Amino acid sequence: MESALLVHRLHFAFTITYHYLFPQLTMGLAPLIVYFKTKALRTGEDRYNKAARFWAKIFGINFVLGVVTGIPMEFQFGTNWSHFSQFAGGVIGQTLAMEGVFAFFLESAFLGLFLFGEKRLSPKMHWFSAFMVFAGSWLSGYFIVATDAWMQHPVGYERLANGSFQLTSFWALLLNPWALWQYAHNMSGAVITGTFVMTAIGAYYLLSKKHMEQARLYIRTGVVAGLIFAVIQLFPTGDGQGQMLAKKQPATLAAMEGLYTTTEGAPIHIMGQPDVANQKIDNPLSVPKMLSFLTYKRWNAEVKGMDAFPKEDLPDNIPLLYYSYHIMVGLGTIFIAVMLLSAFLLSKKKLYDAKWMMWILMLSAPFPYIANTAGWMTAEIGRQPWLVYGLLRTKDGYSTLVSAGNGWFTLLGFMGMYTILSILFLFLVYRQIASGPEAAETHTKEAAVAV
């Protein structure tokens, strides 16, 4: 049955990784669109409305893909993780149902108004519908993060004799400290994706000498917001998340950092490969004592290594966890550098003419996607071998009656379906970019029939 467990894990991992490509952009773009609408309302300048309209198109395409790939996620709790649902549904079902009732209805209703209602609504009401789309997508994100946070750090529950979890405190579940840090870190990551995509398209237009005025607006907005959030991503949110990890999931921290033995004044490995067989890091490039300082704010603090925990309680794929974590942190650092440099050039009024920087900004767009994906892989592979940390093991949660063969069949089905989705998605986005912000107005007539 081991292979069935693996298939079910791959099934969920594949579908959720693919799904999250879309919400991270919609959640990241939503506040930027609200910014454009606010400026339009305040200044009355049409370029802000034009920008909002263009980005609403990109938002709309991503939103539909997010919904379409999101529905399978809810299904899979039952279809592929039946025993987990049976035990934990009473608790995490709360946040999942709240997402449906509070966030989805809000988001879908106001998105319809925002996309199709500009002429029917007053400017203020149209601003309001943009704001509500933003509120809905961020609320939706919170309920999902709170659900994951309960699996990472279970609170407000009791366990019955039959093994099922029952909720005992609604507010403990909703205000889980893990959820607050993870949410801040995750949303800031989403905004980074939004800003990098925005600057990339702006840079593309500038390089191709099209839509220059709009392009400058996208770049300026993207760079300023991008710098702010790239810094927030590191401190305080990344730092806060790391300290929480040290307290609640020390085994995960040790595995992420590749710390095999408990050490005082533990170093941080910037590079190197985990050597699982020999329990060490090969060819490390390390900063001494840094890990102790970052975790406990003392240079000589003791950090627990993987040797301090029973093997069956350690994450089951240490190299993948280690690489995911290091890719996330490495990219995060590069993002700060790129945005800092761009902001410096912007302040010197040299950014728009710096062709080389435009190329960097344009080609940077995929990397926040990689960083966000790697971040989630760090969180979820780091939680292993638990489904509910310390309480329910992953191997006790999957649907035992669904055979490995059925699992493979549907996993391959999803891979095929998502390949088609990807092709269609790229085609639509490409066409939107090619037709540009000037055309956004006329195209809506055609697009107005579907969200």
Residue 83 binds another protein (CB under 8 A): yes
Contact region for another protein (CB under 8 A) — 33-41, 93-101, 231-239, 271-279? 93-101
Kindly state the helix (H) or strand (E) to which residue 388 belongs, with its residue range. Answer: strand 386-388
* Dihedral pair phi/psi, residue 68, rounded to 5°: -60, -40
The continuous run of DSSP H or E covering 224 comes out as: helix 212-232
Query: Of 95 and 193, which has the nearer Cβ to another protein?
Result: 95
Binding to another protein (CB under 8 A) within 8-67 occurs at 64, 67
**Residue closer to another protein, measured from CB, 108 or 262:** 108
Report 293-352 residues binding another protein (CB under 8 A): none
Can you list the alpha helix ranges (DSSP code H) found in 233-274? 239-248, 250-257
Residue 265 dihedral angles phi and psi, to the nearest 5°:
65, 55
Q: Which has the closest alpha carbon to 201: 66, 366, 386?
A: 366
User: CB-wise, 77 or 352, nearer to another protein?
Assistant: 77
Which residue of 44, 100, 288, 390 would you call a contact of another protein, by CB under 8 A? 100
Q: What is the Cβ-side half-sphere exposure of residue 101, based on CA atoms within 13 angstroms?
A: 6
In angstroms, give the least distance from the CB of 169 to another protein.
8
Side chain identity, residue 186: N
441 counts as binding another protein under rule CB under 8 A: yes
Q: Which region, judged by CB under 8 A, interacts with another protein, from 16-24, 85-93, 224-232, 361-369?
A: 85-93
CA 374/CA 20 separation, integer angstroms = 12
Contacts by 68-74, CB closer than 8 A, 24 or more apart: 68/421, 69/15, 69/18, 69/19, 69/22, 69/418, 69/421, 70/19, 70/23, 72/15, 72/19, 72/414, 73/15, 73/16, 73/19
Question: Any idea which residue has 């890091």 for tokens?
Answer: 281
In whole angstroms, the minimum distance from the beta carbon of 97 to another protein comes to: 4
- 71, 271, 412, 415: which one binds another protein (CB under 8 A): 71
Considering the complex, state which of residue 90 and residue 240 has its C-beta at the smaller distance from another protein.
90
Question: Least distance (Å) from another protein to the CB of residue 152?
Answer: 19
Number of residues forming the site for another protein (CB under 8 A) = 73
Q: Is 124 in the site for another protein (CB under 8 A)?
A: no
Contact region with another protein (CB under 8 A), list: 19-27, 38-46, 314-322, 439-447: 439-447
Q: Which of 16, 68, 234, 270 binds another protein (CB under 8 A)?
A: 68
Bridge partners of residue 303, in order along the sequence: 263
The reply to whether 142 sits near another protein by the rule CB under 8 A is no
CB of 107 to another protein, least distance (A): 8
Site for another protein in 380-419 (CB under 8 A): 399, 401-402, 406, 410, 413, 417
CA pair distance 130, 136, nearest whole angstrom: 10
Q: Using CB under 8 A, which residues numbered 166 to 185 contact another protein?
A: 166-168, 170
